[in-house]
Amino acid sequence: METVLSKPRLSKRILEMKESSTLKMAALSRALKAEGHNVISLSLGEPDFDTPEHIKVAAKQAIDDNFSHYTPVPGYLDLREAISHKFKRDNKVDYSPAQIVVSTGAKQTLANLMLCLLNEGDEVILPIPYWVSYEAQVILAGATVNSIPTSVDTDFKITAAQLEEAINENTKVFLFSSPCNPSGSVYLKEELEALADVLAKHPQIVVVADEIYEHINFTDGHFSIAQLPQLKDRVVTVNGLSKGFAMTGWRLGYMGAPLDIAKACSKMQGQFTSATCSITQRAAIVALGDNLEPTFKMKEAFKQRRALMIELLSDMPGVKINEPEGAFYIFPDFSAFVGKKAGDTVIESVDQLCMHILNTAHVALVAGAGFGNPECMRISYANSEENLREAMARMKKCLSELS
Ligand code: PMP
Ligand code: GLU
């Protein structure tokens, strides 16, 4: 006899949580590939390069040296010293090793932060487009998102006036990424100064700067908001190895934070994952050392691909683009195609268009709705030039067949 439960088995928390749209598209494209289709996946944001050799050597050595035990919860001290040095060297900010927590990817760093900073009723300001997991994590922590709109015409960047207008007495956190996932936008020093001047007037707000794409920045240089004196002791800088060092599977993220926040996140992590992998941590010390040559080479390759993507997308009527300044994403506006027909079916949203492109052209992208902008789609160009050309040719044909 079937047992009828009076309450759902699963928690409200998980039932109400949105699935990660980036991971969902990656899974859909893997499933289509498994059926034998030639799918080009420009959905998942991860470098297509291999981890640099000197980092792999360090990991192998760590295994041989028996780094096989639990590590301190916030990470090995010598790794936190290396990160402290990195923050000084690259970002000109001072975070002592006690202010650093290493986690299982920057995703966990962010989850720790949201769970440690937010109560019910608190608001987090997110400029649109934002990375998909920010929204899910804020909601999981019981808080709400207060988003600020932008568009392709303003390079997807907010102004100081927009920020000022969005702030209210419930605002607890301002969270943004620069270079931005999904738009590739980079906030320049003057723009960050203008935002910081506004934030300085509201001391209850903690600024969380996600700089995981720091090394994939095509402007004159990366500038960290934590450098600005008006925000002293209020900025958490999040970073990780996934993007700049092609180490997505190794799972290491970290943050520099005011001491009370660092201690809280370490306590939280102590109840969830204890710490990230010991071998990855040993390799991270080497990754964050002074040999950044492979990282610079990857950046150059991404820069060339960006030029290629701009050229190919500029040649597609109806697709509106800007010039992204970093990361390996471009976030074109496809709203001109909404209302067109594929055969007898009306394309009612960019979401639907994204699925149509996947199912007919076998090109996987991520619809913008998950990033807060339902008019755009994210294209990850962390792929070979050959695949990018083929994918864009297929997409162009697919779009031109809409009537
Ligand atoms: N922040 C941003 C903006 C990202 O794009 C990602 C992953 N792509 C992360 C954080 C998390 O990275 P990871 O967990 O791999 O360190
Ligand atoms: N962050 C990457 C992306 O945006 C990887 C997938 C994920 O963690 O969401 O595609």
**What average pLDDT does the chain have?**
97
For residue 44, which atom of ligand 2 is closest to its CA?
10
Q: Which of 220, 253, 287 is the last residue of a domain?
A: 287
Q: Which of 262, 287, 312 is the last residue of a domain?
A: 287
Q: How far is the CA of 242 from the centre of ligand 1 (A)?
A: 7
Q: What is the CATH number of the domain that holds 147?
A: 3.40.640.10
Residue 2 lies in a domain: no
- pLDDT band at residue 5 using 50, 70 and 90 as cut-offs: confident
Q: Is residue 128 domain-shared with residue 227, that is, in the same domain?
A: yes
Residue 55 lies in a domain: no
User: Ligand 2 pocket check: which of 46, 242, 331 to mutate, most ligand atoms within 8 Å of Cβ?
Assistant: 46
Residue 149 lies in a domain: yes
111 vs 301: CA distance, rounded Å: 31
Query: Rounded mean pLDDT of 141-165?
Result: 97
Domain span at residue 385 reads 12-50+294-400
What total of structural domains would you count in the chain? Answer: 2
Of all protein residues, whose CA lies closest to atom 3 belonging to ligand 2?
45
375-401 residue pLDDT tens: 999 999 999 999 999 999 999 999 999
Ligand in closest contact with the CA of 22: 2
- In 211-342, where do the E strands start and end? 235-240, 253-256, 329-330, 341-342
* pLDDT at residue number 1: 64
Contact status, residue 358 vs residue 28, Cβ threshold 8 Å = yes
Strand partners, 326: 217
Residue 358 lies in a domain: yes
Q: Which helix (H) or strand (E) holds 172?
A: strand 171-177
Provide the 3-class DSSP secondary structure of residue 203. Answer: coil
Give every CB contact of residue 194 below 8 A, 6+ residues apart in sequence. 159, 160
- pLDDT band at residue 6 using 50, 70 and 90 as cut-offs: confident
Q: How far is the CA of 307 from the centre of ligand 2 (A)?
A: 23
Residue 171 has pLDDT above 80, yes or no: yes
Q: How far is the CA of 212 from the centre of ligand 1 (A)?
A: 7
Residue 37 has pLDDT above 80, yes or no: yes
Query: Rounded mean pLDDT of 108-116?
Result: 98
Tokens of 8: 């759902």
Ligand in closest contact with the CA of 251: 1
Q: Which of 287, 310, 334 is the last residue of a domain?
A: 287
Q: Is residue 175 domain-shared with residue 120, that is, in the same domain?
A: yes
Greatest pairwise CA separation for the chain in angstroms: 69
pTM of the prediction? 0.96
Q: Is residue 269 domain-shared with residue 163, that is, in the same domain?
A: yes
